[in-house]
Amino acid sequence: MVDERELVEAAQRGDRPAFEELVRQTFSDTYTLAYRLTGNEEDARDVAQEAYLRAWKGIGKFRGDAQFSTWMYRITANAAATFTKKRKRQRTESIDDIGEPAESRYDYQPAAMSEAADLLDRLSVAVDELPPKLRQVVVLRDVYGLGHEAIAQELDITETAAKVRLHRARHKLREVLDLPGEQRSGASAHAV
């Protein structure tokens, strides 16, 4: 396997196969992040494609201070934010387009699993409804486990801004989920 640095340098010289190898090596993580930020497979594919187009166009600006995959996280987060803003302006749904809700049967599972599944569903919907800037921070922190400093670098914001956005996002999630007092601090801190 060719070293990532060598691939980046070759891609910077216009070597398409080298860039394609970088795409192969990072696609899974890039697509997963795009999916987490958009909540939709089709949108995630569009965002990943846009992210790689931006990366190809900007590969000459990549300084190598971080890994290529880290650079792709930032590009993907920015592409997802742009995509989400554009989609929000264009989105209209006809009542006819909304299908019947999928039947969820938990009658063969213990009540605790049903409650947990319900909470996870509600949490997923609540995260999807967060504004893109807040959703990005929650996903990067609670799904990818990045620290405040890494989040700040990924999103090109200050560490303080990352902390503030995370605090605001979690506050909104608590409001939307409307958890009882004791569960609010315990369950949402672990689930979010």
Q: Is residue 104 part of a domain?
A: no
User: Is pLDDT above 70 for 162?
Assistant: yes
pLDDT at 188: 43
Contact 173, 105 (CB under 8 A): no
User: Is pLDDT above 50 for 108?
Assistant: no
Q: Which residues form the domain of 122?
A: 112-192
Buried b (16+ CB within 10 A) or exposed e, 54-89: bbbeebeebeeeeebeebbbbbbbbbbbebbeeeee
The radius of gyration of the chain from alpha carbons, rounded to an integer in Å, stands at: 19
Q: Is residue 95 part of a domain?
A: no
pLDDT, tens digit, for every residue of 169-180? 888 888 888 755
Tell me the pLDDT of the chain averaged across its residues. 80
Question: How far is residue 60's CA from residue 69's CA, in Å, rounded to a whole number?
Answer: 16
What are the tokens at 132?
Answer: 């893109």
- Residue showing tokens 């608590």: 174
Give the residue, 75 or 3, on which the prediction is more confident. 75
pLDDT, tens digit, for every residue of 14-70? 999 999 999 999 999 999 999 998 888 999 999 999 999 999 999 999 988 888 988
Domain boundary among 57, 89, 121: 89
Question: How far is residue 99's CA from residue 116's CA, in Å, rounded to a whole number?
Answer: 25
The verdict on 116 and 82 lying in the same domain is: no
Q: Is residue 97 part of a domain?
A: no
pLDDT at 129: 82
pLDDT at 98: 56
